[in-house]
Amino acid sequence: MPSSYMAAALDEAHSALGTTSPNPAVGAVVVVNDEIIACGRTQPVGGPHAEVMALRAAGIRARGADLYSTLEPCVHQGRTPPCVDALISAGVRSVTYAVRDPYPKVDGRGHTQLEAAGVVVHAGDGQAESRELLAGYLKYQQTGLPLVAMKYASSLDGRIAAASGDSKWISGPEALLWSHNERIKLDAIVVGSETVITDDPELTARPGNPAGPVDPTVQQPLRVVVDSRGRIPSTARVLQGLSPTLIATSAASNESWRRDIAATGAEIMVFDTREGVDKALHVDLTALIEECGRRGMLEVLFEGGSALLGSLFDQRLIDRVYAIVSPIIVGAVDAPAPVAGIGAFRMANAVPVRDLTITQLGHDTLFTGQPDWEIAARDNQSEAR
As annotated, the active-site residues are 51
3-state SS, residue 326: strand
What's the maximum distance between 2 C-alpha atoms anywhere in the chain?
A: 69
Burial of residue 355, with CB atoms counted within 10 A of its CB: 0-12 exposed, 13-18 middle, 19 or more buried: exposed
Runs of H (alpha helix) within the chain: 4-16, 50-58, 83-90, 109-116, 127-133, 135-143, 173-183, 193-199, 255-262, 285-294, 306-314, 373-384
What CA–CA distances, in Å, run from 340 to 149, 160, 288, 371?
16, 11, 19, 16
Q: DSSP string of 150-208?
A: EEEEEETTS-SS-TTS--TTSS-HHHHHHHHHHHTT-SEEEEEHHHHHHH-------TT
3-state SS, residue 20: coil
Please give the Cα distance from 205 to 17 (Å, whole number).
13
Q: Which of 329, 376, 314, 363 is nearest to 174 (CA)?
A: 363
Please give the Cα distance from 337 to 33 (Å, whole number).
56
Contact of 250 with 229, CB cutoff 8 Å: yes
Q: Which of 270, 213, 268 is nearest to 242 (CA)?
A: 213
Burial of residue 60, with CB atoms counted within 10 A of its CB: 0-12 exposed, 13-18 middle, 19 or more buried: exposed
